[in-house]
Amino acid sequence: MKSLVCDMVGCEFPLFAFSHCRDVVAAVTNAGGFGVLGGVSHTPKTLDIELSWIDEQVNGKPYGLDLIVPTSMESKEQSMTAEEIEARIPPEHKEYVQNLLARFDISTEDVYPDAPTDRMGESMREQGAGELLDCAFEHPIRLIANALGVPPAFMLERGKREGVPVAALTGAREHAVKHAEAGVDILVVAGTEAGGHCGEVSTLVLVPEVLEALRPYGEIPVLAAGGIATGRQMAGMMAMGAHGVWTGSVWLTTAEAETAPAVKEKFLAANSRQTVRSRSRTGKYTRQLRSAWTDAWHAEEAPEPLPMPLQGVVSEPALSKIARLADAGHAGAKQLTTYFVGQAVGLMNHVQSARQVVYEFMEDFAEASERLNGFMEEDG
């Protein structure tokens, strides 16, 4: 296709697929799209294993890597030890979680370990992020993306030195301007419909708003994101000026996805009204599947969610146990279990291969483009 992002990263079709599952990444890339591996949970060793496997599967076809690298590595939160983070958590928050689990017949004895653990992860500190970048650039990646704010200078400089475009996610016009001023190569403009961390403005409004704001900075390609699960939506975004789309949720119900079975079952049955934007998981607003867990944190008696990263220390141990029990058939855990997903979940109604999803995007895109062209009067 004639798209600036296709030229920049070497893909055939500007459908970018974010996934934590290497099988999805490889399948999308091999089908002509562009797979992007979520790497924040990895160590350099495990990331090398994943990227080496992808290299073998795609045989030179392009793929990318997504990390969460804070703009400022000197912030107070980034420099806190696990013990310091633990000391800042009010006891009533853990008590609330323990009482919630007990109501759903889940033992709370092993939810919180006696010794605090580093849930921030080394990948979100300068040394750890640098080591992941070192590992990434030992592989033929064609894109490096940052999912948390403006990429730090060392990340932008490394991308330019390696000849690899640096992308960044943005959910607001003013943030897009900051990315442009910093020298980001590609902007992923994500509306509130998106799963995971998201803002308040819809994709349909945010994309043209950002495109207009970027005019003074030259042609910075934009990938539209948020609620996109079909080729006709992709065509609509590109008709507005986007150069392609960035997708995430639609891959969670593919055959290759490593989504927990109990959650995948709930996704397939859900409609677009069954997601909620909540701070109950990370401390920042994320869109996730509505469940008894999210309802409990929106209840009047619930404590105010803590800021990131404190809320994650409260929620993730419990949610991990809930997910394990739900997959084992525990009735209470099935009601509580949830995961990040966008409003496109209402369009994710059956399991199919990632390759087939790409092909359906292509076919749907072509049909939508023909419909759009059909509205133009012929000369003469």
DSSP code string of 107-168: --TTTS-SS----S-GGGSHHHHHHHHHHHTTTT-S-EEESSSSPPHHHHHHHHHHT--EEE
* Beta pairing class for 275-278 and 286-289: antiparallel
CA distance 74 to 315: 25
As a whole number, the mean pLDDT across the chain is 92
CA distance 195 to 218: 30
Which has more confidence, 241 or 81?
241
Q: What pLDDT score was predicted for residue 74?
A: 45
Report which of 239, 185, 248, 244 is spatially closest to residue 13, judged by C-alpha positions: 244
Which residues on adjacent β-strands are paired with residue 190?
225
* Beta pairing class for 244-247 and 222-225: parallel
- Digit-coded pLDDT (tens) for 81-129: 778 888 899 999 999 999 999 999 999 988 987 655 544 455 556 677 7
CA distance 97 to 111: 9
Residue 281 predicted with pLDDT over 50: yes
In degrees rounded to 5, what are phi and psi of residue 146?
-115, 130
Q: What is the radius of gyration, based on Cα positions, of the chain?
A: 21
- pTM of the full structure: 0.93
Q: What pLDDT score was predicted for residue 149?
A: 85
Q: What pLDDT score was predicted for residue 35?
A: 98
Q: Are 164 and 144 in contact (CB under 8 A)?
A: yes
- Digit-coded pLDDT (tens) for 253-272: 999 999 999 999 999 999 99
Identify the three-state secondary structure at position 340.
strand
Which residues on adjacent β-strands are paired with residue 288?
276, 340
The DSSP result for 7-39, as a single string, is HHH--SS-EEEEES-HHHHHHHHHTTSEEEEE-
Q: What pLDDT score was predicted for residue 376?
A: 84
Q: What percent of the chain has pLDDT over 70?
A: 93
